[in-house]
């Protein structure tokens, strides 16, 4: 039997970590660029990497939020494709999975 309290706590911790990381990225992105052209080009490339990380972080936060909502509504762990229970092993590996492996493919 899945311990939802534990899952919820893990999801919240993960969401907080991601929130901190996204804040840091936002902060880095706001740093003024240097005037030197060569350095500026390097920094712009760095910004693209940061923006990608920020996007990935925000995407994960959204998925975690959705999972927390499902816990509250007591629909957590039910496959949105076939309505069967998602195997516990899959939820442990991917706590915000919304489908079983079969439906994910």
Residues near Zn ion (CB under 5 A) are 79, 81-82, 100, 103
Cα torsion through 19, 25, 28, 33, rounded to 10 = -150
Tokens of 93: 């590996």
Contact yes or no for 91/104 (Cβ under 8 A): no
79: left (phi > 0), else alpha (psi -120 to 50), else beta?
beta
Smallest distance, Zn ion to C-beta of residue 65, A: 22
Q: How far apart are CA 2 and CA 67, in angstroms?
A: 14
Q: Which is nearer to Zn ion, 15 or 98 (CB)?
A: 98
Q: Which is nearer to Zn ion, 50 or 103 (CB)?
A: 103
Q: Which is nearer to Zn ion, 11 or 97 (CB)?
A: 97
Smallest distance, Zn ion to C-beta of residue 80, A: 8
Smallest distance, Zn ion to C-beta of residue 104, A: 8
């Amino acid at each position: 039997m899945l311990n939802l309290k534990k899952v919820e706590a893990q999801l919240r911790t993960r969401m907080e970590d991601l929130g901190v990381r996204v804040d840091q990225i936002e902060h880095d992105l706001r740093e003024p660029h240097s005037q030197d052209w060569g350095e500026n080009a390097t920094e712009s490339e760095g910004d693209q990497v940061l923006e990608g990380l920020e996007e990935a972080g925000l995407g994960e936060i959204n998925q975690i939020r959705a999972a927390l909502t499902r816990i509250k509504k007591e629909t957590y762990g039910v496959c949105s494709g076939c309505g069967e229970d998602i195997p516990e092993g899959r939820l442990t590996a991917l706590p915000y999975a919304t489908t079983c492996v079969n439906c994910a493919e």
